[in-house]
Amino acid sequence: MAAPSRLPLLQFCSTRVFLLRCTQGFHSEPAVQEPAYPPVIPSRTAKSKSAKKRREEDYYNQVRAASSVQDKLRLLTKLQREKYVVYPQTFTLNADRWYRHFTKTVFLPGLPEKCSVGRQVVDQENGKVPPAAGGVDPTVVDENTFSELRYLVGNGILQENFYLKKRRPFLQKEQEHFVAPFLSNLVSSVTNALAKYNPLLKMSSLDFNPEVSFYWMRGERTVPRGHRRGRADPIRFQINDQPHCQIRVPQQLEEFLPLQESVSAEVPVVQFEPNRLPMFQRQYDNNIFIGSKVTDPCSYGHTQFHLVHDRFKRDRLLKGNLADQIEVRLRANAIASLFAWTGAQAMYQGFWSHEDLTRPFVSQAVVTDGQYFSFFCYQLNTLALTVQTDHNNPRKNICWGTESMRLYEAVKDGEVVGLNDDVLKLLVHFLLNKPQKM
Amino acid sequence: MVIDLKCACLYLSRYPLYQLGNPQLRIFRTNFFMTLVKPGKEQPPDTVQFRIPMEMTKCDIKNYLEKIYSVPVGAVRTRIQYCTNKKRNHLNQRVKRPDYKVAYVQLVQQQTFQFPEIFPQKDTALEPGSVEEMQDQFMQDEQQRQKADPRRGGVTEWFGL
């Protein structure tokens, strides 16, 4: 006998349900649950444009979510392809126009207002005590110190050209033989002398023959030949620069112009491919380096010193009908080197083309061939140079620069003739540059 | 007399040797001939393209243009264009198209050069009311009539109910 107590299921259910339905009442809405479908997104592996876009988006998200700066840099630079190698010191003609196009830079002649207005570098009153850190007028240097600097510079020039007996150097090694030791001497002695006025210099790091490299993409082109023929490809650039020496600091320099301020000058647009400059392509390691690794405390740049190579000296250019190219090449050198340095500094802080800068990066440079000095300031406002990110980007990078000025006329009978004080004052001003808070 | 003539002949047959500092009695013209050509690929405005003989070098081009044509030259770059040896004639012999050297000359001081249009394109604008214009219009209308209905989306006429 089956369990007599077992009630028929249907009767049980229906009464229960009926009761339930009765208790719940006819006035409340039954709980409706939305069906949970996965999001409708394009495939990852299909041969379609949307799949390609999705793969790109996934890559960008991966870079954004990278845990450390080294990982980010690794992800951005791991894919090797043919890229144009940009040489800051170049034999090509009218290079500065092309370089401004590649780096989205605007060139403004003269130095920014901070450097030119109130350039009272030397204090005329004698016996003034050098101001302490955070003093009222930090850009003023004692008269005694300035004359000491003059002596140091003159001594440095004489050391290389008069005191030391040197053999005639082999072909095209004059700069290395005469000017490079003078420049090292000048930089180290002047920085030491000015360290008491600029506490930032006490914490700085002076590198000799550092390597500065930067890798970026700008513009697009169709691949003409090969297994990737017909595809749209960004144009890649790489700079591998070796300035003579550079000063790296742990704190960032102040900006010359606010980030959002627009400049009236225009970035030149060049319709031709870079190989018409001429510039040549190679495929090798993509490097981004400021002179020290990411974990170094001195990760911001202060000043770079560049030595013009023998091939690009003034007299050679004058012999080859290229008198107007002298200034052009100095500008091209400054723009390329400083863009690479500031760009690398920004990437060390985690910014890249899809995560644009929130604060401008500033650096300075001095380009010299021993006798003629030119001073340049660079402000990096944007790293978003790829076609996608440049679409609505009104920001431009700015480079200020002077013409080349003679430091001294000649060396005669153990005397430096015609030492130019203005050049020295500009150099001192550059080295005394420091953030306001210090 | 005979001896005098012989001396005169000997004198005429040997020209005065040139040494540095002597007056230049002879004018030496080069055997090189450069051809200005229209660039196949777009070049920057300060670049001029030439076809030059194989034996010429960059220095030769610079001196040639500066001394003979007094055109100051900034930079010169050269390359050799290899032309095919694959074509065959009616006897199945391979025929080589001769190679040539190309020079790209960049001018100084922002001077520009634009290769002139030797064959200007004539605008074939037909006079309204002329016979040719009516014929052209008729042909265009005829072609339009012969085209399939675009609403069919490329499907042929015979495919249907």
**Closest approach of B109 to chain A, Cα-based (Å):** 7
Distance from CA of B37 to the nearest CA of A (A): 17
Of A208, A214, A212, nearest to A244 by C-alpha is: A208
Best probe of the A interface among B70, B109, B112, by most A CBs < 10 A, is B109
Radius of gyration of chain B (CA): 32
Instruction: Say which residue the tokens 């092309």 belong to.
Output: A98
Looking at the complex, report in whole angstroms how far the Cα of residue A11 sits from the nearest Cα belonging to chain B. Answer: 60
Q: Residue B8: pLDDT above 90?
A: no
User: How far are the Cα atoms of A64, A77, A280, A325, A402 from residue A61, in angstroms, in the given order?
Assistant: 5, 16, 32, 45, 42
Q: What is the pLDDT of residue A136?
A: 35
Q: Say how many Å lie between the first and final Cα of chain A, rounded.
A: 98
Q: Is A353 helix (H, G, I), strand (E, B) or coil?
A: coil
Mean pLDDT of B5-34: 72
Residues of chain A positioned with their CB less than 8 A from the CB of B43: 272, 276
How confident is the model at residue A23, as a pLDDT? 55
List residues of B whose CB lies inside 8 A of any A CB. Answer: 42-44, 46-47, 72-75, 77, 106, 108-110
Between the alpha carbon of residue A352 and those of residues A66, A281, A288, B84, the distances in Å are: 12, 23, 12, 48
- Who contacts A273 (Cβ-Cβ below 8 Å, separation ≥6)? A221
ipTM of the complex: 0.82
Cβ of B106 within 8 Å of Cβ of A93? The answer is: yes
Q: What are the structure tokens assigned to B122, written together?
A: 């004539």
pLDDT of res. A126 = 45
| Whole-structure pTM value | 0.84
What's the sign of the alpha-carbon dihedral A56, A60, A65, A67? positive
Radius of gyration in angstroms for the set of CA atoms belonging to chain A, rounded to a whole number: 31
What single DSSP character describes residue B85? S
State the smallest CA–CA distance between residue A321 and chain B in angstroms.
6
**Beta-sheet strands, E only, within A76-231:** 83-86, 105-109, 205-208, 212-222
| Dihedral angle sign, alpha carbons of residues B34, B40, B45, B47 | negative
Rounded distance, CA A228 to CA A226, Å? 5
Distance, CA of B73 to CA of B63 (rounded, Å)? 9
Mark yes or no for CB contact B73/A321 under 8 Å.
yes
From first to last of its 438 residues, chain A has per-residue pLDDT tens of: 455 555 555 554 455 555 555 555 566 677 778 888 988 999 999 999 999 999 999 999 999 999 999 999 999 999 999 999 999 999 999 999 999 999 999 999 999 987 764 445 565 544 444 444 333 344 578 889 999 999 999 999 999 999 999 999 999 999 999 999 999 999 999 999 999 999 999 999 999 999 999 999 999 999 999 999 999 999 999 999 999 999 999 999 999 999 988 899 999 999 999 999 999 999 999 999 999 999 999 999 999 999 999 999 999 999 999 999 999 999 999 999 999 999 999 999 999 999 999 999 999 999 999 999 999 999 999 999 999 999 999 999 999 999 999 999 999 988 999 999 999 999 999 999 988 887
CB distance A94–B43 less than 8 Å?
no
Q: Do A324 and B108 touch (CB under 8 A)?
A: yes
Instruction: Give the H/E segment covering residue A60.
Output: helix A49-64
β-pair type (A105-109, A205-208): unpaired
Mean pLDDT, to the nearest integer, of B115-137?
A: 86
DSSP reduced 3-state for A269? coil
| N-terminal to C-terminal alpha carbon distance within chain B | 118
Residue burial A34-69, b: 16+ Cβ < 10 Å; e: rest: eeeeeeeeeeeeeeeeeeeebeeeeebeebeebeeb
| Interchain CB distance below 8 Å, A91 and B110 | no
Which residues does chain A have within 8 Å of residue B46's beta carbon, measured at their own beta carbons?
A: 93-94
User: Largest Cα–Cα distance of chain A, in whole Å?
Assistant: 134
| CA distances for A237 relative to A59, A80, A107, A217, A368, angstroms | 20, 12, 20, 6, 26
Whole-Å CA distances, A24 to A16, A17, A175, A326: 12, 10, 96, 92
Token reading at A217: 């993409």
Strands A300-307 and A245-249: antiparallel
Q: How far is A320 from chain B (nearest CA, A)?
A: 7
| Cβ within 8 Å, pair B108-A322 | yes
pLDDT score at A6:
59
Q: What is the pLDDT of residue B47?
A: 96
**Position B6 pLDDT exceeds 80:** no
List all residues 6 or more positions away from A203 whose beta carbon is below 8 Å from its beta carbon.
A249, A250, A251, A298
Mean pLDDT of chain B: 88
Mean pLDDT within B79-84:
97
Token digits of residue A427? 């150099």
